[in-house]
Structure 1
Amino acid sequence: MLVLHPPTLPPLAPGQTVVLEAGVYRGPWTIQTPGVRLVARPGALLDGGGQGSALVLSAPGIQVEGLEVRNVGQGDDFYEPDAALVLDGCTGCVVRGLVARGVTGGIRVERSNGVRIEASLLEGTGRAPGLQTYRSDGVVLQGNAIRGFLDNLYVEYGERLRIEGNRVEGAGRYGLHLMFTYQARLQGNLSRRNRVGSALMHGAKNQVEANTFAEEVGPLRYGLLLQEEWGTLLRDNRFVRSTIGLLSLDSRDILLERNRFEHNGTALLFARDAGRNTLLARGNTFVGNLYDLAVDDPQARVTLRGNAFDRAAPLPVPHLPSSSFAYLSARQPDLSLFALSPGVLLWEAAEARVPGLRLLELADPEARAVPPPPHSPAPTLLGLALLGLGGALWLRR
């Protein structure tokens, strides 16, 4: 074991453990020796010198624990930003408890399979991604707190990733952003108050379970976007207080199971660009939303079975979680201004009780009634719904 005091990093032997005592170490550093374990004592800080990335790992099996990093470069190229830590060709490497505040990029992982990034705290300047992986499979991103980057957590081209228990807030764009992923598992994450929301794009067979997507309020903001996803499962998630809870754009064979949509403007919105949406929703709960379902995709194939709604009537007829007015509003967003007018409320009340007036292809024949929330913020939801349904017009441009 090698115990270091500031300021330098000497040559290292394979498999060596290096302990950094408290103090400021001058970087940038590059470790190209396999199996090195770098352990930082409390108060040990690596200063990147304001040029490039502070620490680069480019050999298999390296571990970094408890390190704090500051003063990285200002380069903000989306794919190669100056970062607190870069793992390139670092198969099986582990980063645990990294702290980096006020950095351009947080942790960048490239062509490094089997990496684990755990319990790290990353705070950015809003100009580049925070925790990003590129062409890396079997990566585990667990228990990290990330805020203030362009995309807080960004993944492109990866298989069998596990993204669990992370907290992503205050991004300049997306909280969670996955593209071209296969069999990724997102579980127990919290994404909220980001500039747009979170998104899964062009992926297949992903699993999204027990996450919370919340408080994404503004024009075309959503808890989660599925864009050209295929065969993805969403189970036991919460979509809360967003303009749009879940937006599906040209996504097929989606299973939506046991999720809760609460106090959103539009809980579930289907929109079409070039393809069409197909989805099975069963066992979900919709309470306190202004619109539970809106469709701007004439070719959508939506099947509803056994969902619970606070508007379900105790009548022996299928419950329709949408309405003809919601459909018209999705096509003509300006109509949302009249959503709470007496005439529209009267029409929707009649439509909910008269089978002949219903759009039965969107009905749930096994719907269950649940009590409405004790306080329904109707004026706020009207604004959310207007923004959400207005987004459908933007998507068609």
Structure 2
Amino acid sequence: MADSSGLRPSVPLMGVEEEHFLVDPLTREVVPYAGDVVRKAAEDLGDLVSGELGRYQVETKTPPCASFGELHGELRRLRTAVEAAAVAVGARTAAVGAVPLGTPIPMPVSDEPRCVEQLRDYRGLVDEHVICAAHVHVGVPDRERAVLVSNHLRRWLPHLIALSANSPFFCGRDTGYAGWRRMMWQRWPVSGPPPHLSSYDAYERLLTALVDSGTLPDRRTLFWDIRLSSRYPTIEVRAADVPVTAEESALLAALVRALTVTALRAVERGDTGPGLSAELLRAACWRAARDGLRGEAMDPCTGRLSPADGLLPSLLRHIGPALEEAGDRETVVALLHRLTATGTGADRQRAVHARRGSLHDVVDALVARSPTVGLR
């Protein structure tokens, strides 16, 4: 029987954390106004908005949502409030994975004790951490199952990286990558795809060793693309650039939820997940970040190449029943077809640059004038 939201009990809630840059509307460069923007936005949003490691970024957090429509509405609401707060202090917000222009390094760091501790431990990595991501949470309260779900999700990380790629430019140049944010992020310790783990006990032992060795300052600072949230009863997927639009963030969450539900079904059958080669999986993720949905994609199971435009059909075949169960199939299929036609955020940024010839125009196209305005 469905609950009052219309979902079956087997369909978990989902939520999204989005990071956004603050930019000067005249220079189009990032500005360290996070403290002022967070204080202003918190008047409407409370603890749904916060600062980040650096003062160029703010983070929003949706409440748990049952449906695509509810999540999309929350993302729009949060983006609208943060944009209004930014305008009030003389800035704008931009949903992009890396800083397109300017010289933002070294990044000014928040004076929160945890941020100061990270600067002490990670040094130059923090100086250059001028990137923004989207993190999707899906409710999986059973920690033992959540670890096994992570094993299954690893296979699909290249798909999520490719379709969310939104950071081709960095500090005034085209990097040649669709998702340059990933190249910057994977330099951090314990980053990238998580290992295949046999149990929650194995997860805990590894995490304890990483914290005790000083590699991680605490359990909240785990850099894997997939992790068990330390604060919520969720599995958290952190592989994506922040998408240009709220609608694309909701699409990302619907895909991750469907992958999670599909993985839970496999775990219930006794399947602990494929034991992929760590090297092949890392290489497939690198190729996805470089090429997005263009060129060729690498299968992390076999190492074979195939046209990247086949990524989305294969993903849909895998999660079709879960999308149907959640009532998301029609919406997700339509949005993926649109994404295939218009390109990723990286493709659209490059199209703007090709037409107009200036990264100022790219930033102008990215700036969140309203939650309904996307990159054309």
Q: TM-score range by the shorter chain?
A: under 0.3
Higher relative contact order (CA 8 A, sep 6+): 2
TM-score between both structures, scaled by the size of structure 1: 0.22
TM-score between both structures, scaled by the size of structure 2: 0.22
More helix by share: 2
